[in-house]
A and B are shown apart, each in its own frame.
Chain A
């Protein structure tokens, strides 16, 4: 029974495919997997948007959407219908082909990343030897669609937003890759499945997740920072800073194309949350060995939704950074720490079992964090801020 609940989607797809002739079955299995991904994540997107609007409302002492359905739970459906029926405006001077291609390209690329994520036991669409590399390669090409959107709109705000977004994504892609590399070094594989398998073991009922090691904890924090910046989320949402740039690179998009950008952003966030879950939070494995009867896919989706809640929480809490702060933070703080974390992961690997490696690795990381933070802050000269025109 437990086994069946765990493998329910696999069994279901096998059962559905068994109605087809034998030569079609392999292709139909792949198609079913793709359809499942393309249906599930937009549905989760709708839930997340509602959660975000309600949650942000709570944090800012207001109600949030409460008109459509009980407690406003049908708001995403109303939004979807609205964006489908709205007029699609293309600026006269815009580059029509590129303007059309940009949102389509973004959504396609963002969904492709899910192909390699293990969403449950035996629930990886394509089990690739170099799956992690695939995810990063696909993620890197989403920058191009941001540029296409900003450039083709022929609007200075769009172009500035796109330039900011691309500069930011390039800068934070380096720490994102570097922090994941520590996991690859320890596991010795680029395959997401093997990374999850390595963490899916228990000692005294506690899991071997990488976040519960010094280098893994530091790596996870650095990964989370880089992932937030990579998805252009607050506090790194300068590319769409509405007080400066209207809406950034998708200023000139309306109707369903705008909805596609919105979808792309959230589905990308979920994808990178899924990757973080796979790398550091044990993927589909249970947090305690006595909870292993819960189907594995529940854990994966639970962890992803939990990360989304953290994203929303961070958005409601932190103010937006300035452009120079953003760049300094990436290159002078996050990147050196990720490089150090790589060394610490290597040290962890070669120090062997025992409590000594816990002490040494934690001490190195804590020391580096404190010293770099102090040194970086000393140069900043914080003090009372004077406003020349706003008094």
Chain B
């Protein structure tokens, strides 16, 4: 646990908190981007170059942009006058705490289940590619199928409007 880790962790947590607590939705989206960047830096600090860059490319380059696009195209970015907190915040809190507990439990137990590595593993991009195309090819294809289905679904939703207008 170096100083760098604490700085990055602080950045990510601060970004995530700001994403929840800020009032303006676009500010929230930008704060969320900071949290994404913090996660990418954490990956890089662990020497996981591929995961870190993929995190930046996908989450900052695509997901964050889609989030701000969605905000601008739907509701506008005006700050609501009254409180922004939902009335059912207690339910949300319980759900979030539950998910956090399950994830935390899984992460803490995974260290027992997996063999403890004493030396730092040398993982190159080529190894990741080989693994994706060899051992994990089925999960990869399933994810690809899911994404294609989502894409077609989005196109159909968009097309339906047009037919109604004609």
Contacts and interface: CB of A to CB of B under 8 A. Distances in A.
A141 interface: yes
B159 to A, nearest CB: 15
Interface residues of B, number: 22
Contacts of A141: 56, 60-61
28 contacts: A98-B27, A98-B30, A128-B49, A129-B49, A130-B50, A133-B53, A133-B54, A133-B125, A134-B53, A137-B53, A137-B56, A139-B61, A140-B62, A141-B61, A143-B65, A144-B30, A144-B60, A144-B61, A144-B68, A148-B30, A151-B68, A151-B72, A163-B72, A166-B65, A166-B69, A170-B65, A173-B61, A190-B125
A147 B49 contact: no
Contacts of A148: 30
Contacts of B53: 130, 133-134, 136-137
Contact of B56 (A138, A151, A170): A138
A144 B63 CA distance: 11
A305 to B, nearest CB: 28
Given A129-B124, A130-B125, A190-B125, A147 B68 contact: yes
Interface in A208-252: none
Nearest to A150: B72
A137 B57 contact: yes
B57 A140 contact: yes
B12 interface: no
A139 B54 CA distance: 12
Interface string B29-62: 0100100000000000000011001101100111
A170 B67 CA distance: 13
Q: Is the interface of B mostly helix, strand, loop or mixed?
A: helix
A138 B61 CA distance: 8
A159 to B, nearest CB: 8
Contacts, number: 65
A359 to B, nearest CB: 30
A24 to B, nearest CB: 19
B158 to A, nearest CB: 14
Interface in A120-136: 128-130, 133-134, 136
A136 B56 CA distance: 9
A151 B65 CA distance: 12
A163 to B, nearest CB: 7
A129 B33 contact: no
Nearest to B44: A134
B148 interface: no
B28 interface: no
A133 B62 contact: no
A133 B60 CA distance: 14
B9 interface: no
Nearest to A154: B77
Contacts of B61: 137, 139-141, 143-144, 173
A136 B57 CA distance: 7
Interface string B86-101: 0000000000000000
B26 interface: yes
A144 B64 contact: yes
Interface string A41-68: 0000000000000000000000000000
A137 B58 CA distance: 8
A383 B57 CA distance: 43
B134 to A, nearest CB: 16
Given A129-B49, A130-B49, A190-B125, A140 B56 contact: yes
Interface string B125-145: 110000000000000000000
A143 B64 CA distance: 10
B33 A144 contact: yes
Contacts of B33: 144
B35 to A, nearest CB: 14
Contacts of B125: 129-130, 133, 189-190
A140 B61 CA distance: 5
Contacts of B26: 98, 151
Interface in B79-111: none
Contact of A151 (B49, B54, B77, B126): B77
A157 B33 CA distance: 25
Nearest to B123: A129
Interface string A163-177: 100100010010000
A137 B49 CA distance: 11
Contacts of A143: 61, 65
Nearest to A191: B125
